Amino acid sequence: MSYSITYDYIKLGNARPGTKIDGPFFGVAHDTGNPGTSARSNRNYFNNQQPSASAHVFIDDKEILVIIPLDEKAYHVQYGTQLDNLRFGRESNDAAIGVELCWGGRINFQEAYKRYVWFWGYLCKRYNWRPQEKIASHKQLDPGRRTDPDNALNRYGITFNQFLKDVENSISNQTIPTPSPKPKPQPKPENNNSVLKSGDTGERVKNLQNKLKRAGYSLEADGVFGANTENAVKAFQRKYNLTVDGIAGPNTLNKLDAVLKQPTKPSQPVAPKPGSSNGSAVVPYPGYVIKRGSTDSANVSRIQRALNVPADGNFGPQTESAVKAYQKRKGLAIDGIVGQATWYTLF
């Protein structure tokens, strides 16, 4: 049995940053957090709402739908978990393909499961993976928070180990799938002298950084457009309903100038809420930096749990060191302070 694969990519934004992944080296199996939702409805949600969570593929009883290119990043496992690093030596979002099983409601589970198993077999054959070694469940990587895809599989009498065996059996029967027509290429951002983007350096970048700092964003004005600056630009774009691409083009620069001309300081941006529990948790930024000595024990504990340090609500030397180590791994400014850029990357 062979199935066709439909490619219908969502637009660039929070859910699809457009960043290339390392590999892919492994895959993470999920089920959707919203029973009864189809692959197409999930695709439309992520395209239109652009939460900071996503997956590469959604599969129901009628369609295998690729919504993010398999060589690009998707946010399907929370940063800060350690089990993916221990098992694979890499962060899941940076090196793995996330595949969601749609189930419940009017979805014919047997048909959806057949496609789910077949597609995983296709990935294993394409990338020369052994299922038992290269397919992890979301539950295995984040057992304190997630139960998928066991949550869906177990309802129909299937264990995760049985699923892996079914994938193994499907590999030998794999044939080259017939893809549907690929979507038109995404338009490239405007490229002119007014555009500032990742990798740029100089006084214009430093001027942008100073403006972002005046607008309430925590970053260093070093004249280098790195990850911290890109995250601050995305946060600004998200707040003011601009295209969230991390590129400071004319619309973003003009809006930033207009905001700075306002007599009062703009309020801090709030992260969007995800529509389903299939990806990394998105927690709204509290509106102020959290650093050593902070008294906000609830958010300090949240940060500590994400960094896998004792969650005692006390932002002391150990927590500060863990924040710095995390910032170094993610290419952020290494200051031990959880500002907007660190917060959005962490959660």
Task: Give the residue extent of every domain in the chain.
Answer: 6-171, 188-269, 281-347
CATH (one of 3.90.550.10, 1.10.101.10, 1.10.10.10, 3.40.50.300) for 188-269? 1.10.101.10
Q: In this predicted model, what pLDDT tens digit does every residue of 14-46 receive, in sequence order?
A: 899 999 998 899 999 999 988 999 999 999 999
More confident residue, 21 or 277: 21
Task: Check if the beta carbon of residue 220 is closer than 8 Å to that of residue 333.
Answer: yes
Print burial letters for 129-152: b (CB count within 10 Å at least 16), e (below 16): bebeebbbbbbbbbeeebebbbbb
The residue with tokens 């996503």 is 54
Rounded to whole angstroms, the Cα distance separating 308 from 141 reads 13
Instruction: Identify which of 128, 129, 142, 108 has the alpha carbon closest to the alpha carbon of residue 30.
Output: 142
Confidence of residue 118 (pLDDT cuts 50, 70, 90): very high
Q: For the residues 127-131, what does the mean pLDDT come to?
A: 96
CATH (one of 3.30.200.20, 1.10.101.10, 3.10.450.50, 3.30.450.40) for 281-347? 1.10.101.10
Q: How far is CA 261 from CA 112, 209, 266, in A?
A: 54, 16, 10
Average pLDDT over the chain reads 85
Judged against a pLDDT cut of 60, whether residue 303 lies above it is answered with yes
What's the pLDDT score for residue 180?
A: 45
CATH superfamily, region 6-171: Peptidoglycan recognition protein-like (3.40.80.10)
The residue with tokens 């994938």 is 167
| Same topology between domain 188-269 and domain 281-347 | yes
Confidence of residue 200 (pLDDT cuts 50, 70, 90): confident
What's the pLDDT score for residue 10?
A: 95
Q: What is the DSSP string of 226-276?
A: -HHHHHHHHHHHHHTT---SS-B-HHHHHHHHHHHTSSSPPPPP-PPPPSS
pTM for the whole structure: 0.54
Confidence of residue 265 (pLDDT cuts 50, 70, 90): very low
More confident residue, 64 or 278: 64
Q: Is 204 exposed, middle or buried (0-12, 13-18, 19+ CB in 10 A)?
A: middle
- Of 112-121, 162-171, 230-239, the least confident: 230-239
Q: For the residues 43-59, what does the mean pLDDT come to?
A: 92
Based on its alpha-carbon atoms, the radius of gyration of the chain, rounded to whole angstroms, reads 21
Q: In this predicted model, what pLDDT tens digit does every residue of 320-334 receive, in sequence order?
A: 999 999 888 877 778
The two structure tokens encoding residue 302: 């949240």
